[in-house]
Structure 1
Amino acid sequence: MQISKGVEWAAHAAALMCGLPPGTGLRAEALARYHGVPKAYMAKQMQALSKAGIVHTARGKNGGYRLARSADAITLWDVMRAIEGDRPAFTCTEIRQNGPCGATPDQCRQKCAIAAAFHAAEAAFRDHLQSVSLVDIAAGVLADSPPDHLRDVGRWLEAEAVALG
């Protein structure tokens, strides 16, 4: 399974918004600049997060994005689903019915061991992402970052945050 850059960028943007003062947001261009990614691509990810109800969008001169609900109520699965959708990563094509020794559809009523293993792995992956909230991510950043870096981030947020109406 390969997770797109969009998921990574959206997760980083959402995690950064945990540090915003109440009533403020960040413009997509500021989020793109902070992460060193193309503005148009970041805007696309933010639109997907908005459509999924993860961020709130305010338009206009003082427009920007902020989390739409508390950070402890947003999981990495929410972010991934907003960007990638919730289609299964593995789709069984019943290849065991092909070829000269192919099984009959009647013999394939139960999932084969391969499909079962992939589905179990995907469920475990999804369950883990559902157990990790943005609060957990923010706590990890706070624990792992040097104080001077955290001060720089705080100053940057203060300078870039816009009051949302």
Structure 2
Amino acid sequence: MLLAGTAAQAEFYTGAQVNMLNIDRGSVSNVTLTGLTLRGGMVLHELISAEVHAGKAFGDDSYRGVEVENDFHYGVYARLTPPLAGPVRPYLIGGYSYVENDFNGETLRDDGASYGGGFDLGMEKHISMSLEYLRLVDNDFGTQELIGLGLNYKF
């Protein structure tokens, strides 16, 4: 019953981001792909939100003869937003991401802890823009990062 009461009071939001995905993995360095990420979330408290992302980079890039493509990426995150007055709202984001890429046709998967931050800029009552940095993967094999510019709608 407590969970149902929380869901009834919660604010939901959705959005989309155009982003640049930067991949450094093994001997491949500085591969940059452009993509789209869809996101959805629920404000659990004025400070904390739960959020999911799913995305894909389009096209490919190469580094020293290695063709790199992004099949998809997704993640689940907690988002901390301080209760500040005004249209600009900074936030920190952290959670778990999974990424699947092709290197010369060989599929390689990475997952792990993710972290980042960003800003929301309120434009109207239900619409905001966002600028976000997210370190999708940081493990022994390499790093993968997203920088995104998005548009969000709060229900």
User: TM-score over 0.5 for the alignment?
Assistant: no
Query: Which has a greater percent of helix?
Result: 1
Normalised by the size of structure 2, how large is the TM-score?
Answer: 0.22
**Greater length-normalized contact order (CA 8 Å, ≥ 6 residues apart):** 1
Whose radius of gyration is greater, 1 or 2?
1
Task: Give the strand-richer structure, 1 or 2.
Answer: 2
